[in-house]
């Protein structure tokens, strides 16, 4: 009996210890900034970063900061797809570019997302912010010109209003609430029509006007189209903060675990800074002010977790969909001492590191040691497998095909969790990582800007040359051949994780220099249309 009592006591102690090491069913918050460069988060770039980001920094101080964290692409929609599904975007139809205005859904109806996974384990799930992964808009091809209006149009006609009323008075299918989220609130793309909020599958109000022409200038909105009367751009970001905090409070009171995915609309265009934050930075420019306002909204969410007593049992991810957009004044900021890409080459749209190496922080009290810095290679696709590990489940073969669990790293191990990773340029050109080596399957950065170059491939050792200045491809033909073969295998297997081979949705061409953006030449896309790139 004494032996049995001793055994039960030891077993109970081990169970308590296991619970302390891995909290059961933590809340999950994923905050995704939009166009925030690696060097815009001050703790990533203390010597050449001039924008204060106290809330991002305190999140990092309370958790683990990854210095080699990547998005799937140098632009928006593909990175969002990979984060939500744990699968590289280039396995879908989106081989290059982004989901277009009033675009069709990118995530397949039967594709498991991080929201669907959490929902299976009893979490209430919400998406608050920018979706930009397509939905059924009720916009027929024959009436499309009434929704995607020419830039010189300023006054809505009765024909416009009739078409808008017909489309926006109906539910819109295949949006976030059909992809694992119990609820959604946000603006689908804040600088594209429709200029209104969307809640679940309905617009909040029916647009009746065209956006005023002055809102199509100075890095504000990009495309003309249907808008609510008196629609303003400045309240978008603060309103998203309000809704996120309300969701946290509601779920905390309900004592139900939750997953909040918060894809921010900032600091991407529209650079619509509220009066409170205008002129707050020392750089005298709008973008730095907007970064500071974005940081403040992140702080509000962190404060809401603490205020509602759930901070200690909430796993928080913070990252950005791609690098800083060069067209918002990157060179001018650099002349004033702020380098939005930090030590990295390139910006948003590029396959160079500045396009997709992004801020990446994870905080989980009781598991992640505060103030940690991890230099292992990680990817936003890894959030899916990490959550599966945290929730104590295994992903099916047809989910999270490119996702590796970060849990060993979060617990303090310092060994690679993934042997390779792929990130692409806006025009689809791939960059393959294998340890410190990076092979780019083409010349230049692959973004929408002209960057020259005629070499067939580029090979860099990022341990020795983080700025990607010395192409070693000619010196190491065997390594180039080995990495090309690896890329072929990753494509052919339909996955990069162990498991049964899967099918890609389309023929993959990213390792052949990248497919061109349909109907656009790079120079055309760059000229005068920069703010339309996500």
Q: Residue 26: which residues within 8 A CB-CB, separation 6 or more?
A: 257, 313, 314, 315, 364, 390
Q: What is the pLDDT of residue 151?
A: 83
Q: Does the pLDDT at position 172 exceed 50?
A: yes
CB 445 within 8 A of CB 513: no
Tell me how crowded residue 73 is: count the other CB atoms within 10 A of its CB: 35
For the stretch 100-121, pLDDT in tens is: 999 999 999 999 999 999 999 9
DSSP state of 195: B
Tokens matching residue 145: 């010109």
pLDDT at position 451: 64
pLDDT of residue 530: 34
Closest-CA residue to 137 (of 246, 226, 38): 226
Please, which pLDDT band fits residue 450 given cuts at 50, 70 and 90? low
Lowest mean pLDDT among 17-26, 65-74, 421-430: 17-26
How far is the C-alpha of 118 from the C-alpha of 209, rounded, in Å?
39
Cα dist. 120→391, 445, 478 in Å? 10, 41, 46
pLDDT at residue 150 in the model: 87
528 against 182, higher pLDDT: 182
Angle between helices 76-85 and 382-390 (to 10 degrees): 20
- Evaluate whether 168 touches 160 at the Cβ level (below 8 Å): no
Write down the residue that tokens 């009323």 correspond to.
165
The Cα-based distances of 37 to 81, 256, 325, 527 in angstroms read 19, 34, 8, 22
DSSP β-ladder status, 183-186 and 124-128: parallel
| DSSP result, 309-340 | T-GGGEEEEEEESS---GGGTHHHHHHTT--T
232-274 pLDDT, tens per residue?
Answer: 999 999 999 999 999 999 999 999 999 999 999 999 999 999 9
Domains of the chain: 46-137+172-190+233-532 (3.40.720.10)
Tell me the C-alpha distance between 401 and 378, whole Å.
15
Residues whose CB falls within 8 Å of the CB of residue 391, separated by 6 or more in sequence, listed in order: 25, 117, 118, 121
Given a contact cutoff of 8 angstroms between Cβ atoms, the answer to whether 429 and 446 are in contact is yes
Q: How confident is the model at residue 506 (pLDDT cuts 50, 70, 90)?
A: very high
- For residue 138, is pLDDT > 90? yes
Q: What angle do CA 406, 407, 413 make, to 5 degrees?
A: 90
CA distances from 126 to 6, 116, 146, 314, 421 (A): 46, 11, 32, 15, 29
Q: Which long-range contacts (CB under 8 A, 24 or more apart) does 150-156 make?
A: 150/224, 151/216, 151/223, 151/224, 153/210, 153/224, 154/210, 154/212, 154/213, 155/210, 156/208, 156/209, 156/210, 156/226
Please, which pLDDT band fits residue 3 given cuts at 50, 70 and 90? low
Determine the Cα–Cα distance for residues 66 and 337; give it in Å rounded to an integer. 24
On the 0-12 / 13-18 / 19+ scale of CB atoms within 10 A, 138 is middle
Q: What is the pLDDT of residue 519?
A: 36
- Per DSSP, the three-state class of 436 is coil
Q: How confident is the model at residue 414 (pLDDT cuts 50, 70, 90)?
A: very high
Q: 185 Cβ partners below 8 Å, 6+ apart? A: 126, 127, 128, 197, 198, 199, 200, 240, 243
d(CA 188, CA 222) in angstroms, rounded, equals: 14
Q: What is the mean pLDDT of the chain?
A: 92
Q: Is-above-0.75 flag for pTM?
A: yes
Give residue 310's region: left, alpha or beta (phi > 0; psi -120 to 50).
alpha
Asked if 79 contacts 322 with a C-beta cutoff of 8 angstroms, the reply is yes
- The two structure tokens encoding residue 253: 């009171």
Mean per-residue pLDDT, 205-216: 96
Residue 386 has pLDDT above 80, yes or no: yes
185: helix, strand or coil: strand
Note the pLDDT of residue 350. Answer: 98
What is the mean pLDDT of the segment spanning 388-402? 98
Q: What is the pLDDT of residue 452?
A: 63
pLDDT over 60 (residue 523): no
pLDDT (tens digit per residue) in 301-337: 999 999 999 999 999 999 999 999 999 999 999 999 9
pLDDT at site 528? 31
pLDDT at 449: 72
Stretch 139-146: mean pLDDT? 95
Looking at the predicted structure, is the pLDDT value of residue 2 above 80? no
Range with the largest mean pLDDT of 3-7, 144-148, 525-529: 144-148
Percent of the chain with pLDDT over 70: 91
**pLDDT for residue 86:** 98
Query: Model confidence over 57-98: pLDDT tens digits?
Result: 999 999 999 999 999 999 999 999 999 999 999 999 999 999
């Amino acid at each position: 009996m004494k032996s049995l009592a001793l055994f039960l006591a030891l077993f109970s102690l081990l169970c308590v210890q296991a619970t302390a090491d891995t909290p059961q069913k933590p809340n999950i918050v994923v905050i995704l900034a939009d166009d925030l460069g690696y060097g815009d988060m001050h703790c990533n770039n203390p010597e050449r970063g001039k924008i204060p980001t106290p809330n991002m920094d305190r999140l990092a101080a309370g958790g683990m900061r990854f210095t080699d964290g990547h998005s799937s692409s140098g632009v928006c929609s593909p990175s969002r797809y990979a984060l939500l599904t744990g699968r590289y975007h280039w396995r879908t139809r989106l081989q290059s570019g982004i989901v277009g205005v009033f675009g069709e859904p990118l995530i397949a109806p039967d594709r498991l997302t991080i929201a669907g996974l959490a929902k299976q384990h009893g979490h209430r799930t919400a998406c608050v912010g920018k979706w930009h992964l397509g939905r059924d808009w009720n916009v027929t091809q024959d009436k499309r010109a009434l929704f995607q209006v020419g830039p010189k149009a300023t006054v809505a006609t009765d024909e416009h209003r009739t078409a808008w009323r017909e489309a926006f008075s109906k539910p819109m299918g295949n949006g976030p609430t059909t992809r694992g989220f119990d609820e959604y609130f946000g603006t689908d793309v804040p600088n594209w029509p429709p200029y209104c909020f969307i809640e679940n599958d309905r617009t909040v109000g029916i647009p009746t006007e065209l956006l005023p022409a002055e809102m199509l200038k100075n890095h504000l909105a990009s495309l003309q189209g249907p808008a609510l009367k008196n629609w303003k751009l400045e309240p978008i970001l603060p309103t998203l903060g309000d809704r996120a905090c309300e969701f946290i409070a509601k779920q905390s009171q309900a004592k139900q675990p939750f997953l909040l995915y918060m894809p921010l609309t900032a600091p991407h265009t529209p650079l619509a800074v509220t009066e409170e934050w205008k002129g707050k930075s020392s750089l005298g420019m709008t973008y730095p002010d907007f970064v500071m306002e974005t940081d403040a909204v992140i702080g509000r969410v962190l404060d809401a977790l603490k205020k509602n007593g759930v901070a200690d049992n909430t796993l928080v991810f913070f990252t950005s969909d791609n690098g800083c957009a060069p067209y918002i004044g990157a060179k001018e900021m650099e002349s004033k001492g702020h380098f939005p890409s930090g030590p990295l080459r390139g910006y948003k749209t590029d396959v160079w590191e500045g396009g997709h190496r992004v801020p990446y922080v994870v905080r989980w009290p009781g598991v992640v040691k505060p103030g940690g810095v991890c230099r292992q290679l990680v990817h936003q696709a890894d959030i899916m497998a990490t959550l599966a590990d945290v929730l104590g489940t295994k992903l099916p073969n047809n989910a999270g095909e490119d996702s590796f669990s970060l849990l060993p790293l979060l617990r303090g191990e310092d060994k690679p969790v993934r042997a390779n990773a792929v990130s692409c340029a806006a025009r689809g050109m791939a960059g393959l990582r294998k340890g410190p080596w990076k092979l780019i399957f083409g010349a230049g950065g692959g973004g929408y800007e002209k960057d020259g170059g005629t070499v067939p491939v580029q090979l860099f050792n990022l341990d020795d040359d983080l700025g990607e200045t010395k192409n070693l491809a000619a010196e190491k033909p065997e390594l180039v051949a080995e990495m090309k073969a690896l890329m072929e295998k990753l494509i052919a297997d339909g996955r990069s994780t162990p498991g049964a081979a899967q099918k890609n949705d389309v023929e993959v061409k990213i390792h052949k220099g990248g497919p061109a953006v349909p109907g656009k030449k790079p120079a055309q896309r760059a000229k005068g249309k920069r703010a339309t790139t996500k």
